[in-house]
Structure 1
Amino acid sequence: MKLSRTAILAASAAMAALTLGSPASAAPASITGAWKTDDGKSVIQFYKCGQSMCGKISQFLVPEPAGGARDTENPDKAKRDRKLLGMRIFWNLSADGSRFEGKGYSPEDGRYFDAEVWRDGSELKVKGCVLVFCRTAKFTKA
C-alpha cells in the first residue's frame, strides 16, 4: 500500500505532537513571586538563584519580637541568633517534570527537609519530607 505525501506529513505531525507535547517533557509552571504561607504568618519570596530556584522569608504578617525573630530552633547552636527575615529557607530547587525539587529548612522546628514545590492553579503547593514523614502546605499569592 502506497501512502500519499499528505498522509505521511499528517502522521509525522501527529507523532511530533505526541512526543513534544507530552507532560513529562513540559517545564513546571513558574513559582517565582511572593507567596503567603498556609498559616498566614509570613510571605516567602521565590526567585531564580543560579541555575535553580530559591525561597526566602521576605515579610512577617504577625508582629516580631523585639529585636526581630531569630532562628532559635536551629540544631546548630552557632546559628540560633540569625534573624529570620531575609533568611533563605529553600534552595537548589530544580525543575523535575512538573515540579521543582530541592532542599528546605523550617525555622519553626529547626528541621531540614527534602522539598517539592509546584503550582496547582492559583495555589503553590510545598511538600516537605523528613525520612518517610511528609507534609504538604498550600501557599497563596501574596
Structure 2
Amino acid sequence: MNKLILSAVALAGLAFPALADPVHGNWRTAPDDNGNTGVVRVADCGDLICGTLTQAYNGAGQVISSPNVGRQIVWDMEPQGNGRYRNGRVWAPDRDQTYNARMELEGDRLTVSGCVLLFCRDAVWSRAD
C-alpha cells in the first residue's frame, strides 16, 4: 500500500512541472549608446537569475557579429517576488561598465536599472519569445 501511495505522489509531481520564474526567456534590450540591441536569455543560475547575450543587432535591426555574444551580462539577481529582482549586477557592453542592478517585470516589459556610485541608468527590455 505504501508503494502505491509513493508512486501516486511521484506521478503527481511529474504532472506538475516546476514553475519557471516569469522572467525566464529571451529579452530584446533597449538600444545602447551606439544604437545596437541584443537578445538576452534569462534563466536560473542556481538560486539566482542571470542573463546571457545570445544575439546582437545593429541600429537597422540586422544581425551583427559581436565578441559579447555568449557572455553573461546579468548575474546574481535575487528574486524578491512580484516580478522584482534585486542585488544583481549588469554589464553594459557599450560603456564596458558593470553596474549594481535590479530588475522589475511588468507583463512583457522588463525594466533593468543599474547604478555606479550616484549615477543610475534604466533600460526597458521587451520580451522576444
User: Which residue number corresponds to residue 100 of structure 1?
Assistant: 85
Deviations 1:63-119 (A, max 9, x none): 43xxx42xxxxxxxxxxxxx2011001111112354112111111111111111121
Residue number among 47, 50, 53 corresponding to 1:57 in the alignment? 53
Letter in 1 for 2:72: R
% of aligned pairs identical?
30
Letter in 1 for 2:52: K
User: Which residue number corresponds to residue 115 of structure 1?
Assistant: 101
Query: For residues 57 and 43 of structure 2, what CA distance do their matches in structure 1 show?
Result: 20
Query: For residues 118 and 32 of structure 1, what CA distance do their matches in structure 2 show?
Result: 13
Structure 1 runs of 4+ with >3 Å offset: none
Mapped pair 1:32 → 2:24: yes
Gaps of 5+ in 2: 1-20
Residues paired across the two proteins, number: 98
Higher relative CO (CA 8 A, sep ≥ 6), structure 1 or 2? 1
User: Where does 1:1-142 land on structure 2 (aligned, <5 Å)?
Assistant: 30-39=22-31, 41-62=37-58, 63-64=63-64, 68-69=65-66, 83-98=67-82, 99-101=84-86, 102-142=88-128
Q: TM-score, normalised by structure 1?
A: 0.63
Conservation of the 8 A alpha-carbon contact between 1:31 and 1:118: no
User: Larger Rg: 1 or 2?
Assistant: 1
Conservation of the 8 A alpha-carbon contact between 1:127 and 1:136: yes
Q: TM-score, normalised by structure 2?
A: 0.69
Query: For residues 141 and 61 of structure 1, what CA distance do their matches in structure 2 show?
Result: 16
Query: For residues 132 and 119 of structure 1, what CA distance do their matches in structure 2 show?
Result: 23
